[in-house]
Amino acid sequence: MNLRPKIALYEPDIPQNTAAIIRICSCLGANLEIIEPCGFLFSDKRFKRVVMDYIDEKMIKFYQSSDEFFKSKRNQRVILMTTKSAESYATFKFESNDTLLFGRESAGVPDHIHNLIKYRLKIPMVINKRSLNIASSVAIILSENLRQTSFTK
């Protein structure tokens, strides 16, 4: 069985970022999971402009709520990417079937979700910088996961 890493987006709210993440997942062979509600429609012209022809509905799974998402992940590792962690992604041992969870661009994930997750990682940055763009963060973390797990198509 060919295990693929999964990128999960918690209630994404910027269409261009979600479209860019779809392209990253498409090009790097990851699946995408979206925890709804989204803050935009997939018919949004800003979304379509960035996603172009990279969208493949078979690679995207939607969850109606975070409860549904976490029930489906009962026996799987979920790794939350957050600026509120002390542990760097660079020292973490990824597995090929990990679900890499990213919060909303505007607010991250709520505390109750943060507290559900055992593995919380950050991308170290220079002092006094808040965060990277979510699509850039996805590319960094997914690339490291793939590097460590020697994922091949």
Q: What is the pLDDT of residue 148?
A: 94
Rounded (10°) CA dihedral 71, 76, 82, 88: 170
What crossing angle do the helices spanning 15-28 and 134-149 adopt, rounded to 10°? 20
Confidence of residue 79 (pLDDT cuts 50, 70, 90): very high
pLDDT digit string (tens) for 37-66?
987 666 657 665 555 565 666 678 999 999
Is residue 82 predicted with pLDDT exceeding 70?
yes
pLDDT digit string (tens) for 94-103?
998 899 999 9
The answer, yes or no, to whether the previous bond of 37 is cis (omega within 30 of 0) is yes
Q: What is the pLDDT of residue 26?
A: 87
| Segment 57-63 long-range contacts (CB within 8 Å, at least 24 positions apart) | 59/22, 59/25, 59/26, 59/30, 59/31, 59/32, 60/22, 60/31, 60/32, 60/33, 60/34, 61/31, 61/32, 61/33, 61/34, 62/33, 62/34, 62/36, 63/33, 63/34, 63/35, 63/36
> Where does 6-149 sit in CATH, by number?
3.40.1280.10
Q: What is the pLDDT of residue 38?
A: 84
* Best CA proximity match to 39, nearest among 14, 68, 65: 14
pLDDT digit string (tens) for 4-21?
789 999 999 888 888 889
* Best CA proximity match to 10, nearest among 29, 35, 33: 35
Q: What is the pLDDT of residue 106?
A: 84
